[in-house]
């Protein structure tokens, strides 16, 4: 097993706030723990908040990335459980945004002893359309286009070229420096996360849920529509669905008070 120090360094784990209850905040595809910054002020007085970056995101150790492990969401779920184990956390309330709802579900089914409940913000168990029963919102072609756009969008072009110029020995140092700039991760790594997120279908997991879950869904969200929310609620035992009067997929950034209020209510009961 990895030591606490190793895991903390690998996943850039930070702990803020204090409180009996432990909330672990898991970011979604495309960003890192910075995306929780608007929500943290509303929660840190009451709870202990555990923040982290998945390997390959934010300021995690990119050297820990392995294509085989992070090809599927199970690899990301291992990050979650390994952090809990290394930090000796139990009764964790897992707050996961978007794909981290599914990652949390994988983690809590694999290691139910670590978790108390789940809060899923704009979750989706499958982003692809699977007619006639299920419409995740996207066709495979859309995701292929996404991967193409990601290639062309890399702010971190220097990331792309520098390892070649500087030689492999220095690339780790360099990459970690460049990762300071928001959202500029290695394109290979980011695309692995994109593929694991958008090509997968974990609907079969929903009935296996072992913990109560709060599903926070936006009334208008093209990545995770209310229909997806209804589908999940119908298939997940012990789930509560809350459709919020909001737009967009990043509720915790655009409507932090609303999300905090829902979490407080959920944890009070």
Partner 1 sequence: MVTDNKRHIVYSNRYIEEYFGYSPHELVDADLFSLLSKASQIIYEAYIVPLIAREGCCDEIRLTLVTSAEKLMPIVVSARHDSVYDRIFWSISSVSRSNQLFEKLTETKSLLEQKVSLLRTLKDTDPLTGLPNRAALTKYLDQEMLSRKRNGMAFAVAFVDLDGFKEINDRHGHHVGDKTLQLMAERLTGNLKSDDMVARFGGDEFVIFLKDCFSASLVEESLTRLVSKLAEPFKVDTLPLNLSASIGVTLYPQAKDVEPGQLIRQADQAMYQAKLAGKNQVCLFNTDNEVVQKEKHSELLAIRAAMEFGQFELYYQPKINMRTGKVFGVEALIRWNHPVEGLKGPATFLPVLSNTPTGLALGRWVITTALCQQQIWLQKGLKLQVSVNIDGYHLQHPQFLRDLSAILSDFPNLPKQLFEIEVLETSTIEDVSHVSSVLNACRLMGIRISLDDFGTGYSSLSHLRDLPVDTLKIDRSFVKNMLTSNNDLAILKGVIGFAHAFGYGLVAEGVETLQHSQRLVELGCECGQGIYIAKPMPARAFPTWIDEWYQQACQEKYKNSFV
Interface pick for partner 1 out of 88, 132, 152, 207 (rule CB under 8 A): 152
Q: Which of 260, 252, 257 is nearest to 98 (CA)?
A: 252
Nearer to partner 1, 31 or 216 (CB): 31
Strand partners, 129: 135
The tally of CA atoms less than 13 A away on the side-chain side of residue 163 is 16
Interface pick for partner 1 out of 14, 153, 261, 265 (rule CB under 8 A): 153
Using the rule CB under 8 A, is 59 a contact of partner 1? no
Q: What would the DSSP string read from start to end of 77-112?
A: HHHHHHHHHHTT--SEEEEEETHHHHHHHHHHHH-G
- 249 assigned to active site: yes
Q: Looking at 30-38, 64-72, 109-117, 202-210, which segment touches partner 1 (CB under 8 A)?
A: 30-38
Q: Burial letters for 186-213: b for 16+ Cβ neighbours within 10 Å, e otherwise?
A: bbebbbbbbbbbbbbebbebbeebbbbb
Catalytic residue, from 27, 179, 221, 246: name it.
221
Residue 211 Cβ, how far from partner 1 at the closest point, in Å? 27
Q: Return d(Cα 137, Cα 42) in angstroms, integer.
A: 32
Task: Please report, as residue ranges, which positions from 207 to 236 form the binding site for partner 1 (by CB under 8 A).
Answer: 222-223
Catalytic residue, from 27, 53, 97, 98: name it.
98
Residue 36 Cβ, how far from partner 1 at the closest point, in Å? 11
Tokens of 59: 């300021």
Interface pick for partner 1 out of 2, 4, 9, 30 (rule CB under 8 A): 30
Tokens of 220: 């208008």
User: Is the Cβ–Cβ distance between 218 and 224 less than 8 Å?
Assistant: yes
What is the helix (H) or strand (E) element at residue 38, kind and residue range?
A: none
Interface pick for partner 1 out of 101, 104, 137, 187 (rule CB under 8 A): 137
Residue 87 Cβ, how far from partner 1 at the closest point, in Å? 26
Using the rule CB under 8 A, is 254 a contact of partner 1? yes
Nearer to partner 1, 19 or 248 (CB): 248
Counting residues that bind partner 1 (by CB under 8 A) gives 36
Tokens of 68: 């085989």
- 60 assigned to active site: no
Residue 262 Cβ, how far from partner 1 at the closest point, in Å? 19
Q: Return d(Cα 11, Cα 195) in angstroms, integer.
A: 20
Q: Which residues bind partner 1 (CB under 8 A)?
A: 28-31, 34-35, 37-38, 137-139, 142-143, 145-146, 148-150, 152-153, 157, 160-161, 164-165, 182-183, 198, 222-223, 247-250, 253-254
Active-site positions read 98, 221, 249
């Amino acid at each position: 097993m990895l030591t606490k120090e190793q895991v903390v360094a690998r996943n850039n784990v930070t702990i803020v706030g204090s409180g009996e209850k432990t909330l672990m905040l898991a970011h979604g595809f495309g960003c890192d723990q910075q995306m929780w910054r608007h929500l943290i002020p509303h929660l840190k007085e009451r709870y202990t908040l555990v923040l982290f970056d998945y390997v390959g995101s934010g300021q995690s150790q990119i050297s820990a990335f392995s294509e085989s492990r992070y090809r599927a969401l199970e690899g990301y779920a291992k990050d979650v459980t390994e952090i809990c184990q290394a930090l000796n956390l139990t009764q964790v309330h897992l707050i996961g945004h978007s794909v981290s709802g599914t990652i949390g579900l994988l983690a809590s089914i694999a290691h139910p002893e670590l978790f108390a409940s789940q809060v899923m913000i704009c979750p989706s168990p499958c982003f692809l359309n699977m007619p006639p029963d299920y419409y995740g919102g996207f066709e495979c072609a859309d995701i292929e286009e996404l991967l193409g756009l990601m290639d062309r969008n890399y702010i971190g072009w220097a990331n792309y070229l520098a390892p070649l110029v500087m030689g492999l020995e220095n690339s780790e140092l360099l990459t970690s420096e460049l990762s300071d700039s928001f959202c500029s991760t290695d394109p290979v790594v980011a695309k692995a996360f994109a593929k694991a997120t958008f090509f997968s279908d974990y609907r079969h997991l929903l009935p296996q849920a072992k913990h109560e879950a709060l599903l926070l869904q936006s009334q208008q969200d093209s990545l995770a529509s209310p229909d997806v929310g209804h589908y999940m609620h119908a298939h997940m035992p012990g789930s509560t669905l809350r459709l919020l009067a909001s737009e967009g997929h990043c509720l915790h950034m655009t409507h932090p008070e609303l999300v905090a209020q829902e979490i407080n209510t959920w944890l009070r009961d």
